[in-house]
A and B are shown apart, each in its own frame.
Chain A
Amino acid sequence: MFPSPLHRILTAPAAVLSLLVLTSCSAPGEQAGAGESGTGPIKVANVNAQSGQLSSLGKWENKGVKLAIDEVNKSGGINGRQVQLDLFDDQGDPTVGTNLGRKIADGGYVAMLGTAESAVTLAMAPILKDAKIPNITSGQSPKLAGLKSPFLFLNAPTSVTYDETLAKYLVETKGLKKIALISNNGTYGTGEHDAFLASLKTRGVTPLADEVVTPDQKDFSAALTGIRDKEPEVLFIGAEEVESGLIAKQARELGVKAVLAGGAPMGTEPYLTTAGQDATEGAVVSSPYLTNDATEATRAFAAAYKTAYGEEAEVHGAKAYDGARILVEALKATGGAGGQKLADAIRATKYAGLLGDFAYDESGVGIHATQIAVIKSGELVPETAS
């Protein structure tokens, strides 16, 4: 008497299924990717977090990239073709990153610059590899090099290099062996932690303390009190800019006397302002880009950066600038073509950049050295290698 609604529902999938079977003769979506035509602008994608926790990093990176591309376009482009730079926001989320990977693969882009977040780059790498789109990333996780993707290049050393240099300086040059670690469990912090610990181990040093915090933590007194009681000579900080600053500031407030040490974030403006001049005095920094004053090239870069954006240049902008310049060199070599040719061209590019001399190896790492600086009165003073 009642046409049962249940019955209707049960028969529905059967209908859908049979239709699927009927029409599964030819597969859709086999058209080749568009783009890579010989005329019009050369499209380059820049993927970086413009929102979310990592947005300050992403914005610096974008400024560096934009500066480099603008310079190229002003000087006539590549073989007369302009470079079109499109910015994509990955929100620091790997899933969004994979979406963007497909978008780039389909949008006729020849190359991608970014991201600043290793996890996002790791997620995108297989897609870009399949689509044969070279990617110069700002990430520095050793896992990126571990992928050995022929289409993935780093614009800076990996954490291993930063921390090897740092450990060598602290332990061998300075003879400091009572070392404590504090790092966050984000991608960057974990990478720093593992690399620095490995470098200590090869030198036979066991850390006095090894505290792990989270990337969005603001109060570190529990971890720092534990560290203070161990009376270390060195406190290694493995965290992003602002968090490193907060840790440094709170460590000094709690009476930690140790020398602070860390990677690139500890040479940046946000770190110095967050921590305050007193807290940063004497800190040891390992970075491929210490000051805007290092060479002729860095001075020129810093001046251009200041003119364009009205603020001081820093390491992330410099890294991204180097990456973009290398891409431009490679594009000039291929005449604007992408794919395998472009990847080979990048690998072959020898480039004297702001961070040092780039020469790419099999794993996509182009630069293998960092320098040590000591912060004195809020300025990074390079320590000449002994």
Chain B
Amino acid sequence: MRRLALIPLAVAAVLLPYGLDRYAIHVVDVAIVFALLGIGLGLVMGVAGQVNLAQIAFFGIGAYACAILTTRAGLGFWVAAALAVLVAVAVGLVVAIPALRVQSHYLGIVTLGLALAFINWITNTPEAGGSEGISDLPVPPMFGIDLTSEHLFYYLEIVVFAIGLAFALFVVASPLGRRMRAMRDDSLAAGALGADIPLLRVTAFVLSGLYGGLAGVLYAGLIRYVAPETFSVANMFLLLAMVIIGGRQSILGCVAGAVALSLLREVLADFSVYAQLGYGTVVVLMVVFAPTGLAGLPRLLRARLSRHRSGERAELRPFTPDDPAPVQGGGDMLEVRGVSMRFKGLRALEEVSLTVPAGQIRGVVGPNGSGKTTLFNIVSGFYVATAGRVLLEGDDVGGVAPYRLARRGVARTFQNLRLFGDLTVRENLLVALDHTRTAWTWRYVALPHAVVRHDRALRDQAARLLDRYGLTAFADAQPRSLPYGIQRRIEIARAMALSPRLLLLDEPAAGLNGEEVLRLAEMVRSLRASGVTIVIIEHNMGLVMSLCDQVTVLSGGRVIADGLPGEVAVLPEVVEAYLGEPAYLSDDNEDAPEAAR
């Protein structure tokens, strides 16, 4: 049905130039260039969550490279255009390097600096024409079609734009885009689920460079003149305003914002002093009242309307146990040997050793601040231990990045839930189900249909997984709108979607009621029966006693006891450790922040 809706849209796009005069079509042509830029910025900022204020520089690099290659090096327009897009992509790669180190506003400052450096460079380089820019760019040849006519140039643009938009929508809806959105919402959790964070960030910047370069080339062909002012920081903020007003998390929103603001800019051309002020005001109003932009308005209105209606509440269905399977891997699944962890002066762990045989349910208990979560963070790769070794099935995995460990079969949940807030429950699982390497990404360009097939297979798996964990009714809800107990269930389902051999559960019973705790215990036993080794941090001693095969007690960063639950519970030092801190039954806030990496 929705495909049919595209036909009138396409007809309108084809007929549009017939109704416009030369000036109006020029305005539309410029708007399309900005829409392409908006898509690039939407991908890198809205989808991948990378604050990129160098988008206008990518645009400029595309345009300038095209101008320099045609006028100075004498290349044909299309050869120069192809090279110019490549140059923009290469610069995108370079700009991505700081993104590997810094994030959020720091990244914003770095990219802004790069944009300023670009302006400085073109203003001061004679080859780039200095502040006068480069004029007299050649007209792009096109099989005898005269592209000096802006009406005809429009068709070239609209084709590039349609392909660009389709590719962007395809990427966003595909496993790659899902990973990027997961990284945006919580890069730590995404890493723990096997998303290759550094490569994803680079990919985001490459895409942004690609769209910037394309827009730059089209601009060069359209205006046939380039000068530094066009790529100024003021225009970067205009572009930013387009994306924010349109709704940065939606590609279509970015396009709508870019087109709307380009047209508005023309209307306000005679009042440019007030126009800048106006853009600023609109952006502030948008951020305050509709943070999801124009694209989010329909949903916002629907939510407001449906608040008054009481729908039937969806119910959490019971968990369906998996078929029992033999324990995967024999011997010791996890061995921690003499691990110490120091944060500056603080000693979080001191010479901790423990061995978890395959197929065991191991409990790790201890008072708040005893180092339990720190131990998990080391095992799952978030921290690198100051001393000691961590062995996974006999292989040293100290210092291995979280996403690599995830691919080797280590899954974890977090003490204070780390679900991807802006993804649906289904998408949360899909992110974890996708085991492809990032190197697989070339298929997005070369074999889009392989990606479609892959995505369909993932969706089938996700449907089975949702059903098994009784979550089908919530599949398309956002996790943060759901009750706490259900969110806990989702996090376990998401960790299990990795098909791990070792599952680390950090206080899975926190915040659950008695009934829910019983169901949790059943679920954990069933998971073990399906061949998974489980380590569980828990304060609920009832659960630990009934569930665990063996219990390790931590206190002050040291192992003070290790043995069968019944034996350990009566040891005097354990009792003392707990009585020394009688708040052990409380569920909330444990040790150090989850991770700092």
The chain A residues found within 8 Å of chain B, CB to CB, are 1-2, 4-13, 15-17, 19-20, 23-24, 27-31, 33, 50-52, 88-89, 91-96, 98-100, 102-103, 105-107, 118-119, 122-123, 125-126, 130, 141, 143, 147, 185-187, 190, 212, 214
Alpha-carbon separation in the docked complex, A51 to B229 (Å): 14
Tell yes or no: B23 within 8 A of A by CB: yes
Task: Report which of B10, B15, B27, B227 forms a contact with A119, defined as CB distance below 8 A.
Answer: B227
Residue B17 at the chain A interface, CB threshold 8 Å: yes
Cα distance, A5 to B273, chains bound together (Å):
44
| A68 vs chain B, min Cβ distance (A) | 22
Would you mind naming 30 contact pairs between A and B with Cβ atoms under 8 Å apart? A1-B460, A8-B2, A15-B3, A16-B6, A16-B158, A16-B159, A16-B162, A20-B14, A20-B155, A27-B151, A28-B151, A30-B149, A50-B272, A52-B272, A89-B270, A93-B232, A94-B133, A95-B223, A99-B27, A100-B269, A102-B26, A118-B132, A119-B229, A122-B132, A122-B133, A123-B133, A125-B135, A126-B135, A187-B132, A190-B130
**Nearest CB of A to B73, in Å:** 20
Whether the Cβ atoms of A15 and B7 lie closer than 8 Å is yes
In the complex, which residues of chain A have a beta carbon less than 8 angstroms from the beta carbon of B460? 1
User: Known: A23-B14, A27-B151, A119-B229. Contact between A2 and B448, CB under 8 A?
Assistant: no
B169: A residues at CB distance < 8 A = 9
Interface presence of B78 (CB below 8 A): no
Interface contact A106-B22, CB-CB below 8 Å: yes
User: Using an 8 Å CB-CB cutoff, how does the interface string of B119-159 with A read, 1 for contact, 0 for none?
Assistant: 00001100000111101100000000000111110010011
A341 to chain B, nearest CB (A): 22
**Are B133's CB and A106's CB within 8 A?**
no
Chain B 518-540, CB-CB to A under 8 Å as 1, else 0, gives 00000000000000000000000
Stretch in B91-99, B291-299, B449-457, B477-485 touching the partner: B449-457
Q: Are A5 and B132 in contact (CB under 8 A)?
A: no
Say whether B150 contacts A29, CB under 8 Å.
yes
**Residue B18 CB within 8 A of the other chain:** yes
Chain A proximity mask over B482-518: 1 for CB below 8 Å, otherwise 0: 0000000000000000000000000000000000000
Contact pick for B224, options A15, A24, A31, A126, CB 8 Å: A126
Beyond known contacts A15-B6, A16-B13, A98-B225: 18 more, CB 8 A cutoff: A12-B3, A15-B3, A16-B162, A28-B151, A29-B20, A30-B151, A88-B269, A94-B229, A95-B223, A95-B227, A95-B230, A99-B30, A103-B23, A119-B131, A119-B229, A123-B135, A185-B124, A185-B130
CB of B135 within 8 A of CB of A12, answer no
Given the interface contacts A93-B230, A118-B132, A185-B124, does A29 sit within 8 Å of B448 by beta carbon?
Answer: no
CB contact under 8 A between A19 and B159, given known A92-B229, A102-B23: no
List residues of chain A with CB within 8 A of the CB of B327: none
A51 to B163, CA, bound (A): 38
B451 touches A6 (CB 8 A): yes
**Closest chain A residue to B151 by CB distance?**
A29
Chain B 55-83, CB within 8 Å of chain A: the 1/0 string?
00000000000000000000000000000
Chain A residues within an 8 Å CB radius of B173: 5-6, 9
Taking the closest CB of chain B, its distance from the CB of A271, in whole angstroms, is 21
Given A94-B227, A141-B132, decide whether A19 and B452 contact each other with a Cβ distance below 8 A.
no
B371 to chain A, nearest CB (A): 45
Please give, as numbers and ranges, the residues of chain A lying within 8 Å of B20 by CB-CB distance: 28-29
Q: Is B468 an interface residue (CB 8 A)?
A: no
Give the interface SS of chain B, mostly helix, strand, loop or mixed: helix
Closest residue of B by beta carbon distance from A107: B23
- A residues near B300, Cβ cutoff 8 Å: none
Alpha-carbon gap, A28 to B456, bound state (A): 43
Query: A119, B30: Cβ atoms under 8 Å?
Result: no
Q: Nearest CB to that of B269 among chain A residues?
A: A89
Q: Please determine whether B266 and A99 come into contact, CB atoms closer than 8 angstroms.
A: yes
**What does the 1/0 interface line of B272-316 toward A look like (CB < 8 Å)?**
110000000000000000000000000000000000000000000
- A51 near B149: Cβ-Cβ < 8 Å: no
Report Cα–Cα, A30/B151, bound state, in Å.
9
Bound form: Cα–Cα A185–B3 in Å: 53
In the complex, are the beta carbons of B269 and A105 less than 8 A apart? Answer: no
Q: Are B10 and A122 in contact (CB under 8 A)?
A: no
Minimum CB–CB distance for A158 against chain B, Å: 13
Distance A50 CA – B272 CA, assembled complex (angstroms): 8
A130 and B27: CB pair below 8 A?
Answer: no
Given the interface contacts A105-B23, A106-B23, A185-B124, does A122 sit within 8 Å of B163 by beta carbon?
no
Contact across chains for B174 and A6 when beta carbons are under 8 A apart: yes
Nearest residue (CB) in A for B13 is A16
B60–chain A nearest beta-carbon distance, Å:
11
Residues of A within 8 A of B451 (CB): 6
Interface centre among B13, B22, B149 (most CB of A within 10 A): B22
Tell me if B170 counts as interface (CB < 8 A to partner A): yes
Asked, given contacts A20-B155, A123-B227, whether A10 binds B459 with beta carbons under 8 Å apart, the answer is no
Contact A185 B123, beta carbon cutoff 8 Å? yes
A131 (CB) vs chain B CBs: closest residue: B22
Q: Are A123 and B225 in contact (CB under 8 A)?
A: yes
**Residue among A7, A9, A105, A119 with the most chain B CB within 10 A?**
A9
- Is the CB–CB distance between B22 and A28 below 8 Å? no
Q: Judging by beta carbons under 8 Å apart, are A190 and B272 in contact? A: no
List chain B residues, Cβ under 8 A from A20. Answer: 10, 14, 155, 158-159
Is B583 at the interface (CB under 8 A from chain A)?
Answer: no
B325 within 8 A of A: no
Q: Are A190 and B132 in contact (CB under 8 A)?
A: yes
Q: How far is it, in angstroms, between the C-alpha of A20 and the C-alpha of B224 when the chains are bound?
A: 25
B223 to A98, Cβ gap below 8 A? yes
Interface residues of B in 377-402 (CB under 8 A from A): none
CB distance from B158 to the nearest CB of A (A): 8
Report yes or no: A19 in contact with B135, Cβ–Cβ below 8 A: no
Asked whether, in the complex, the Cβ of B166 is within 8 Å of the Cβ of A9, the reply is yes
B270 touching A88, Cβ below 8 Å: yes
Mark out the residues of chain B between 1 and 48 whose CB falls within 8 Å of any chain A CB in the assembled complex.
Answer: 2-3, 6-7, 10-11, 13-15, 17-18, 20-23, 25-27, 30
A13 to B266 CA separation, bound complex (whole angstroms): 29
Tell me whether B133 and A12 are in contact (CB under 8 A): no
Q: Are B135 and A122 in contact (CB under 8 A)?
A: yes
Which one of A6, A33, A185 has the greatest number of beta carbons of chain B within 10 Å?
A: A6
User: Which of B22, B158, B273, B452 meets A7, CB within 8 Å?
Assistant: B452
A6's partner among B150, B266, B270, B455 (CB-CB below 8 A) is: B455
- Please report the C-alpha to C-alpha distance between residue A7 and residue B11 in the assembled complex, in whole angstroms: 21
8 Å CB contact of B10 from A19, A88, A93, A123: A19
**A10 x B131 contact (CB < 8 A):** no
- Chain A, residue nearest B452 (CB): A6
Report whether A9 and B170 are in contact in the complex, using a CB–CB cutoff of 8 Å: yes
Is the CB–CB distance between A12 and B22 below 8 Å? no
Please determine whether A51 and B273 come into contact, CB atoms closer than 8 angstroms: yes
With beta carbons under 8 angstroms apart, the residue of A51, A102, A119 that contacts B272 is A51
Decide if B463 is an interface residue (CB 8 Å cutoff): yes
Assess the A10–B133 pair: CB atoms within 8 A: no
- Closest CB in chain B relative to A32 CB, distance in Å: 10
5 nearest CB pairs, A to B: A29-B151, A28-B17, A106-B23, A94-B227, A13-B166
Q: Are B223 and A19 in contact (CB under 8 A)?
A: no
A30: which B residues are within 8 A, CB to CB?
A: 149, 151
CA distance A130 to B17 in the complex (A): 20
In the complex, the chain B residue whose C-beta lies closest to that of A186 is B131
| Assembly CA distance A91 to B13 (angstroms) | 31
Residue of chain A at shortest CB distance from B175: A6
Closest to B24 in A: A106
Pick from A10, A92, A94, A100: contact of B170, CB below 8 A.
Answer: A10
The answer to whether B132 and A119 touch across the interface, beta carbons within 8 angstroms, is yes
What is the CA–CA distance of A123 and B278 in the complex, to the nearest angstrom?
A: 27
A12 / chain B contacts, CB cutoff of 8 Å: 3, 6, 162, 166
CB atoms of A94 and B17 under 8 A apart: no
- Contact B18–A28 (Cβ < 8 Å): yes
CA distance A129 to B11 in the complex (A): 34
Q: How far is the CB of A39 from chain B (nearest CB, A)?
A: 22
The distance from the CB of A229 to the nearest CB of chain B, in whole angstroms, is 24
A19→B11 contact, CB < 8 A:
yes
